[in-house]
Structure 1
Amino acid sequence: MATVPTFEELFRDCRESAVHLEMRDSYMKSDPAYVDWAAGVAINPAERWADWLALVSEATSRGVKVRRARIVSEPVSKYIQFEHEVTDGLNIAAGEEVCWLPRRSATGIALPGNDFWLFDSSLLLVNHFDGEGEWLEPFLSTDRREIELCASAFEAVWELGIPHAEYQLV
């Protein structure tokens, strides 16, 4: 690819599906929403993430199936508590389906080394984070082997995952 599309362009160009696998127990603790939440400030996802809600809502209204699976250690980290608390108002409200898989249940799954987004089963956006969970540059791939591994891993996690409405934090 001559130019790498933005995440928003990838989402807007998506026609059938967008799946996201998250495998870390914390992300970007410098995120102002997380900092506020950790300090006890009430978080309104519709205000904090209006752009995300609009982007995903637009995709799901076009018929794009958006699914997010999270593999989490239990007992969960404070960051995962934050994610769980905002999921209804952020992800579910936008039209995403979300499931949670306790890490202990993921032992038999061949997992990629990084979190990712897979668009229309053909374009893989690999997310990179530093050791503290701060976001680094992503990598875009059309490599069939990478796509097949990530698609297989996502579906295996999804099959074992617990729907958000049923997942109780431990």
Structure 2
Amino acid sequence: MAVPKLEDRLRRCTRSAVHLEMRDEYMRSDARFVAWQNGVRRDPADSDPLRRPWLRLVADLVAQGVDVRRARIVSEPVSDYIRFEHHLTGPNVEAGEQVRWLPRRRASGLALPGNDFWLFDDSSVVFHHFAGDGELAPDDEEFTDDPVVVKLCADAFETVWDLAVPHETYKLT
């Protein structure tokens, strides 16, 4: 049986899809990141739903009443990759995704899962596994609907969300 892709899992959501990111570096080999490092800051593809399918997906989900939220825990001063993500986040927000940023120094007292995750409708979780260099690991996704793990992730996300700064007011340091 084929394992559902992230997009399929998201499209099945009826209420909420939340994502917690806790790394300072991701897939530095990403062509958009490489272009950004080389000075490309106004690529029309960054805000074009036809060329950046994530934006269309978010807009579709939000139009169906799904609450799409992302929280990022970041070290400060932020890494170049986080600067890149911040640069790309404006179009995500315009598409309907809510995004907040939590400086890592404010997360010290929080109980957090060991990996980034997506939580779907408060009923299942997909953890993402990355190698030390930020690239996706060969076994990059781990699915669970264990109620204890789901609750851990839901509680962690909401705690981070409550402490985090909305994208519109978060200033990079």
TM bucket by the smaller chain?
over 0.9
CA contact (8 A) 1:22 1:116 kept: yes
**Other-structure match for 2:111:** 110
**Other-structure match for 2:155:** 152
- Aligned-pair distance for 1:3? 4.0
- Matched residues, number: 168
- Aligned-pair distance for 1:46? 2.4
Say whether residues 1:16 and 2:19 are aligned partners.
no
- Aligned-pair distance for 1:93? 2.0
Q: Percent identity?
A: 53
Whole-angstrom distance in 2 between the partners of 1:115 and 1:68: 11
Provide TM-score, normalisation by structure 1.
Answer: 0.95
- Aligned-pair distance for 1:135? 1.4
Unaligned runs of 5+ in 2: none
CA contact (8 A) 1:4 1:140 kept: no
Provide TM-score, normalisation by structure 2.
Answer: 0.93
- Aligned-pair distance for 1:23? 0.2
Question: Following superposition of structure 1 onto structure 2, how do residues 1-170 of structure 1 map, counting pairs within 5 Å?
Answer: 2-42=1-41, 43-44=43-44, 45-47=46-48, 50-89=52-91, 91-136=92-137, 137-170=140-173
Please list the CA deviations of residues 47-81 of structure 1 after superposition, one character each: whole Å capped at 9, or x if unmatched: 48521111111000000000000000000000001
Q: Secondary structure at the match of 1:14?
A: coil
Q: What value does the CA root-mean-square deviation take over the aligned residues?
A: 1.2
